[in-house]
């Protein structure tokens, strides 16, 4: 099976490269972003994210000074961390077809009740995102899941673009 998440981030140089790239890219954004009212959410995944079994409880935190950039860190002390981005900012054409099968387990009535995030990493010195397996968050229930889309149009690694001002 293909691994659909980034490996836990432990390389500080990679962390700084990603943060710097995203901070530059979002310097003048006006997009509406998730987590604007509270900087950290304690989330419970309905199943462990791929590669992070048995961990299901994570803190989702905004990265100060980098609009649309978030960290997802385990709360169990396993030192697991991913960077997530708000795709509406970096991939404005990203509109995956979310079905009831995707959002109902989170207690959401429809797709508009969930926030969508994508995993970001550095590959060959450039930031990339996984558009094939977004992370869905219901901010009302603080539940989350990573889904694998049936659509084959979304790549596992898509290079990020600079958002429109």
Q: How many domains is the chain built from?
A: 1
The Cα–Cα gap between 118 and 75 comes to 20
The DSSP code for 141 is: T
Note whether residue 125 is domain-resident.
yes
As given in the structure block, the two tokens for residue 160 are 């990020």
Note whether residue 141 is domain-resident.
yes
The Cα–Cα gap between 93 and 97 comes to 12
pTM of the model: 0.79
**CATH value at residue 83:** 2.30.290.10
Note whether residue 3 is domain-resident.
no
pLDDT of residue 124: 85
Note whether residue 126 is domain-resident.
yes
Note whether residue 1 is domain-resident.
no
pLDDT of residue 153: 85
Domain ranges, residue 95: 12-159
- Stretches in the chain below the pLDDT threshold 70: 1-38, 161-165
Note whether residue 164 is domain-resident.
no
Q: For residue 65, how far is the Cα from the chain centroid? A: 17
pLDDT of residue 17: 55
Note whether residue 5 is domain-resident.
no
């Amino acid at each position: 099976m293909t691994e659909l998440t980034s490996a836990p981030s432990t390389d500080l140089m990679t962390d700084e490269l990603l943060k710097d790239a995203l901070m530059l890219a979002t310097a003048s954004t006006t997009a509406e972003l998730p987590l604007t009212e509270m900087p950290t959410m304690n989330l419970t995944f309905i199943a462990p994210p791929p590669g992070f079994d048995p961990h299901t409880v994570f803190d989702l935190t905004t990265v100060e000074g980098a609009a649309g950039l978030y960290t997802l860190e385990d709360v169990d002390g396993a030192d697991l961390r991913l960077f997530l981005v708000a795709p509406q900012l970096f991939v404005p054409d990203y509109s995956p077809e979310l079905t009831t099968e995707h959002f109902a387990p989170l207690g959401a009535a429809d797709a508009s009740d969930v926030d969508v995030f994508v995993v970001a990493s550095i590959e060959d010195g450039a930031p990339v995102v996984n558009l094939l397996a977004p992370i869905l968050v219901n901010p009302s229930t603080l539940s989350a899941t990573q889904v694998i889309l049936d659509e084959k149009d979304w790549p596992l690694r898509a290079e990020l673009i600079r958002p429109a001002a």
